[in-house]
Amino acid sequence: MPKKDSTQSGYYKEPAPHVSNDSPFASMMERFETAAKILELDPGVFKYLSSPEKVVTVSIPVTMDDGRIEVFEGIRVVHNSILGPSKGGIRYAPDVTLDEVKALAAWMTWKCAVVNVPFGGAKGGVRVNPKELSQGELERLTRRYTANMFDVFGPDKDIPAPDMNTNEQIMAWIMDTYSMKQHRTETAVVTGKPIILGGSKGRREATGRGVVTCTLAALGKLKISPSNTSVVVQGFGNVGSVSAQLMYEQGAKILAISDLSGGYYNENGINIDQALKYVQENGNSLEGFPNAEPITNEELLKLKCDVLIPAAKEDQINKNNASDVNARIIAEGANGPVTANADPILEDKEIMVIPDILANAGGVTVSYFEWVQDRHGYFWTEERVNRRLNRMMRESFDNLFKVSGKYNITLRQAAYVYGIDRVATTLKLRGIYA
């Protein structure tokens, strides 16, 4: 096995660039290296795929409502575009780092390859707390970020989408700014748009729907019926709430849900329709949710259940708490919710982990559908979107299940092996441009 030191590639004896210990990028590199070893990947290809193709940082001056000029930092990382135009969301957060964006960009490359979507991987970030901005300030920030990234973005080059703290409205501003500079409407430059502007039906629910398709497939392998399943969900935003809702509709008992305000537990099951209504009427928060016992997010992760869906953020299950996880299946709704050093602990406990680059790939899959629809100017019914999404997610799950059996490796390792192999094979065929 390769040396498990992600700051220094034991296999290839080359330091990986800009890596700090235990960071999301380090986790990504550690898993990449394990898969590279299994694949006996050409060391040159490993080196090529270890670094992003493009890292762009821009300063974003914004005139605030009171007339002051404030300057924010914007990042866009294109990890790889061998399989097609790069694709990945933009997050707005005060603590977003280049390291995190680089990891997320690489995960997008592997994710698109895993579900056979013809895109490469990218990610963007702006260091800002959007809650502190007015709507006008948010719009000016988004438009200037887009203008500064005009040479990076493009429907055939790099296609952004929403991520943490960005939404349909922000995508609409990106589309409009890009279109104004092109002197024509270019809907396919961004996905996750409002439906009226060329968004796809089913996009909002797509990631949670994909999580549930994979979870049902995994339950099938373990011969557990969905109606006999207990489920715990961390995070009650887009991914967590839709995952909880669809599992609830399958007859599963949702033992606990949570958000930033904490966890909510009911041994007889939480009524998800009530929880959704509560959040809608309570400023998007579960704070004070009735008919449930308040617990901490740390306690929630240790609850005995069949399925645990971490759908909040990175690094939630790590070497300090992985041995306390008491689930049979972990379906990673979030990106990177389990650190690389927790993987062997979960493997020893024989917990089936459906890795993020498969489990949450429903979002990018329907983003691909949105891009296809925009380019054709022909829009699909929701039924068609969901049917195609379910089919692609199910086929990808079954495919990785086979790969994991073939090499006797975990589903996560299988996902990396399959995704990296696809990218590397395409790279070999295309060759290195000189």
Which residue's CB comes closest to ligand NAD? 237
β-pair partners for 262: 259
Cβ nearer to ligand NAD, comparing 182 with 296? 296
One of 87, 102, 123, 253 is an active-site residue; which one? 123
Query: Which amino acid appears at position 333 of this protein?
Result: G
Nearest by Cα to 366 from 339, 387, 342, 344: 387
Cβ 216 to ligand NAD, closest distance in Å? 18
Q: Are 56 and 76 in contact (CB under 8 A)?
A: yes
Q: Are 300 and 259 in contact (CB under 8 A)?
A: no
Q: Are 215 and 247 in contact (CB under 8 A)?
A: yes
Q: Are 310 and 338 in contact (CB under 8 A)?
A: yes
Q: How many residues bind ligand NAD (CB under 6 A)?
A: 22
Cβ nearer to ligand NAD, comparing 27 with 258? 258
β-pair partners for 161: 89
Q: In angstroms, rounded to a whole number, what is the distance separating the alpha carbons of residues 142 and 73?
A: 12
Q: Does 334 bind ligand NAD (CB under 6 A)?
A: yes
Where b means 16+ CB within 10 Å and e means fewer, 250-268 reads: bebbbbbbbbeeebbbbee
Q: Give the Å distances, CA to CA, from 229 to 317, 388, 433.
A: 21, 26, 52
Phi and psi torsions of 332, nearest 5°: -80, 95
The verdict on whether 87 is a catalytic residue reads no
Choices 28-36, 237-245, 318-326, 394-402 (CB under 6 A): range interacting with ligand NAD: 237-245
Phi and psi torsions of 37, nearest 5°: -65, -45
The site string for ligand NAD over 279-318 (x = CB under 6 A, - otherwise) reads ------------------x-------------xxx-----
Choices 122-130, 176-184, 253-261, 268-276 (CB under 6 A): range interacting with ligand NAD: 253-261
β-pair partners for 71: 61
Cβ 162 to ligand NAD, closest distance in Å? 6
Q: Which of 124, 198, 199, 363 binds ligand NAD (CB under 6 A)?
A: 363
Cβ 236 to ligand NAD, closest distance in Å? 4
Choices 173-181, 193-201, 214-222, 331-339 (CB under 6 A): range interacting with ligand NAD: 331-339
Near ligand NAD in 342-361, by CB under 6 A: 360
Near ligand NAD in 205-224, by CB under 6 A: 207
Choices 80-88, 333-341, 369-377, 378-386 (CB under 6 A): range interacting with ligand NAD: 333-341
Nearest by Cα to 400 from 386, 419, 426: 419
Q: Does 236 bind ligand NAD (CB under 6 A)?
A: yes
Q: Does 28 bind ligand NAD (CB under 6 A)?
A: no
Cβ nearer to ligand NAD, comparing 171 with 252? 171
DSSP, collapsed to helix, strand or coil, labels residue 352 as strand
From edge to edge, which strands make up the β-sheet containing 293-295?
293-295, 262-265, 253-259, 230-234, 304-310, 326-331, 352-354
Q: Does 237 bind ligand NAD (CB under 6 A)?
A: yes
Residue 142: how many other CB atoms lie within 10 Å: 27
The site string for ligand NAD over 29-48 (x = CB under 6 A, - otherwise) reads --------------------
Cβ 358 to ligand NAD, closest distance in Å? 11
Cβ nearer to ligand NAD, comparing 9 with 367? 367
Q: Are 105 and 163 in contact (CB under 8 A)?
A: no
Give the contacts of 221 (CB within 8 A, at least 6 positions apart): 352, 401
Q: Which helix (H) or strand (E) element contains residue 36?
A: helix 24-39
Phi and psi torsions of 409, nearest 5°: -130, 170
Q: Does 88 bind ligand NAD (CB under 6 A)?
A: no
Q: Does 160 bind ligand NAD (CB under 6 A)?
A: no
Q: Which of 34, 86, 258, 404 binds ligand NAD (CB under 6 A)?
A: 258
Cβ nearer to ligand NAD, comparing 134 with 284? 284
Q: Does 235 bind ligand NAD (CB under 6 A)?
A: yes
Q: Could you list the residues that contact ligand NAD (CB under 6 A)? A: 163-164, 207, 234-240, 258-260, 297, 311-313, 333-335, 360, 363
Indicate which residues carry an active-site annotation: 123
